[in-house]
Amino acid sequence: MSIQALKGFKDILPDEVGIWQHIEATARDIFHRFGFTEIRVPILEKTELFARSIGEATDIVEKEMYSFSDRNGDSITMRPEGTASVLRSFIEHGLQAKLPVQRLYTIGPMFRHERPQKGRLRQFHQMSVEVLGLDHPRLDAELIAMGWLILEELGLTTTLQINSLGCPACRPAYKEALVAFLAGRKEHICEDCQRRSLSNPLRVLDCKSSHCQEQYVAAPAIIDHLCQGCADHFSQTKASLDLLAVPYTVNPFMVRGLDYYTRTTFELVTDALGAQSAVGAGGRYDGLVEQLGGAKNMPGIGFAMGMERLVLLLNQQNADGCPETTTDLFVAALGEEATVRAFPLVHLLRRKGLQVAMDLEGKSLKSQMKQADRAKARFALILGEEELTKGEAVLRDMTSKEQQQVPLAGPPEALCAILVAAVTRTEQ
């Protein structure tokens, strides 16, 4: 029996990869326009890094991490998200000394042992950004607007929900109010929520049970419990979003699945993907650098977009803009002599920057023209015995079917120049 991929782990096949590259290229371009530089961090980290940042009492740390002991007996984990690793690297390499405000992005696979379903995998890919060293609310809006722009340039429609989770000064009072509320509803909420109302009360608001959600409609909202600093930060973030014409709704019960957030949190959501509604999400985490052993008062904010969900949406919404893979020129050489002649010519054309395909075995014309069609070739150069004798090959425009003769005499560079000119002329 053949071996299959693990459940929740997916191959990205050759006919899907174009859309992935398109998403990645669009995002990279926008990241660069906003002054971000790429950072690449390892997939494996010490388990402690995630426990300390994401939080011991979160779903991710409690039940979703791929953690194991390596051969030395150390507990290591395949990263379930990128923020903790980027911050670890930021602290470890003293990046703040090089630039007071760091704008970093990273793209790559993440791992969570969740129940796989549409838009939810165990290995999934995130494009994530982090800004360290600035706590101005205008930055919150700028970052959210960048996420919005990525979706806009991809041709995707989503909605933006924002909230503020307060700070260590105002959250304890809110927690108290929430715990008191939950104590009064103990019989009406699920066991998980009962347990969490003691260990990590904010998490209950994230519960997937509709029964619990019905109860939480009446729960106290954190935005009514913000201290003056957090309330000002939130209203300035909203005003800055207005300036950038990014539409949003405030969702006072959005708590996010990770414990490190403070103040602004946000999600870019769609109703087109069933239960997996967030295509991107993030927020501010002003205490996290210090919590991981770095500098005190080092604010941070970031977000991540789930690439699988973007691919699903793009396929669903049929957004155009994803370039089709084509070939500039297919060289159809017939028979051994012509093939030997064409082989170095093709190499030369590729060195000149053209996308060129050829059949290395010199198969029949019919078979080669089929290959040219499959490769979506814009031009075909036909070079058989007859053409060799005449000293002229045939260049066919595969769309208009027009043909022209091109001379074979002279050095290969001359023929190469004619072909490059013919192919690039039609591009303009």
Per CB under 6 A, contacts with ligand HAM among 385-404 are none
Closer CB to ligand HAM, 255 or 322, in the complex: 255
Cα angle, residue 390 at apex, residues 387 and 393 outer, rounded to 5°: 35
Q: Are strands 123-132 and 300-306 parallel, antiparallel or unpaired?
A: antiparallel
Can residue 289 be called a binding residue for ligand HAM (CB under 6 A)?
Answer: no
Dihedral angle computed from the Cα positions of residues 230, 231, 236 and 241, in that order, rounded to the nearest 10 degrees: 90
Q: How far is CA 122 from CA 3, 60, 65, in A?
A: 18, 12, 10
Q: Which stretch binds ligand HAM (CB under 6 A): 12-20, 70-78, 279-287, 402-410?
A: 279-287
In DSSP terms, which residues pair with 424 in a beta bridge?
A: none
> Judged by CB, which is closer to ligand HAM: 50, or 216?
50
Q: At what angle do helices 17-33 and 137-154 cross, to 10 degrees?
A: 150
Q: Which stretch, 31-39, 239-247, 299-307, 379-387, contacts ligand HAM (CB under 6 A)?
A: 299-307
For ligand HAM, the binding residue among 282, 287, 362, 384 (CB under 6 A) is 282
Residues of span 210-269 touching ligand HAM by CB under 6 A: 257-258
Q: Give me the 79-118 binding string for ligand HAM, x by CB under 6 A, dash otherwise.
A: --xxx----------------------------x-x----
Tell me the closest approach of the beta carbon of residue 217 to ligand HAM, in angstroms. Answer: 23
Residues 129-168 that bind ligand HAM (CB under 6 A): 130
Q: Would you list the DSSP string of 75-97?
A: EEEE-S-SHHHHHHHHHHTTHHH
- Of 294, 306, 362, 384, which one interacts with ligand HAM (CB under 6 A)? 306
User: Residue 120 corresponds to which tokens in the numbers above?
Assistant: 């939810």
Are 265 and 282 contacting, i.e. CB atoms less than 8 angstroms apart?
Answer: yes
Contact range with ligand HAM by CB under 6 A, out of 99-107, 125-133, 348-356, 407-415? 125-133
Residue with CB nearest ligand HAM?
306
Question: With contact defined as beta carbons under 8 Å apart, do 332 and 380 qualify?
Answer: yes
Least Cβ distance, residue 278 to ligand HAM (angstroms): 4
* Whole-number Cα distances in Å, 135 to 51, 167, 200: 25, 13, 26
Considering only 281, 313, 338, 415, the residue that binds ligand HAM (CB under 6 A) is 281
Of the candidate spans 183-191, 235-243, 300-308, 376-384, the one that interacts with ligand HAM by CB under 6 A turns out to be 300-308
Angle between helices 191-199 and 171-183 (to 10 degrees): 150
- Which candidate, 359, 347, 329, 344, places its Cα nearest to that of 424? 329
12, containing H or E segment: none
Q: Which of 120, 171, 203, 396 binds ligand HAM (CB under 6 A)?
A: 120
Single out the residue of 303, 314, 378, 416 in contact with ligand HAM (rule: CB under 6 A).
Answer: 303
Nearest distance in Å: CB 157, ligand HAM: 16
3-state SS, residue 120? strand
Q: Quick one: which segment of 120-128, 353-361, 390-398, 416-424 binds ligand HAM (CB under 6 A)?
A: 120-128
Cβ proximity to ligand HAM: between 107 and 304 the closer is 304
Number of residues that bind ligand HAM (CB under 6 A): 27
Supply the minimum distance, in Å, between the C-beta of residue 8 and ligand HAM.
8
Tell me phi and psi for residue 78, to 5 degrees.
Answer: -80, 125
Residue (120 or 341) nearer to ligand HAM, CB: 120
To ligand HAM, the closest distance from the beta carbon of 108 in angstroms equals: 12
| Residue 123 per-residue DSSP state | E
Residue 368 binds ligand HAM, judged by CB under 6 A? no
Burial label, 109 (beta-carbon count in 10 A; 0-12, 13-18, 19+)? middle
Buried b (16+ CB within 10 A) or exposed e, 90-101: bbeeebbeeeee
Binding site for ligand HAM (CB under 6 A): 81-83, 112, 114, 119-121, 124, 126, 128, 130, 257-258, 278-283, 302-306, 308-309
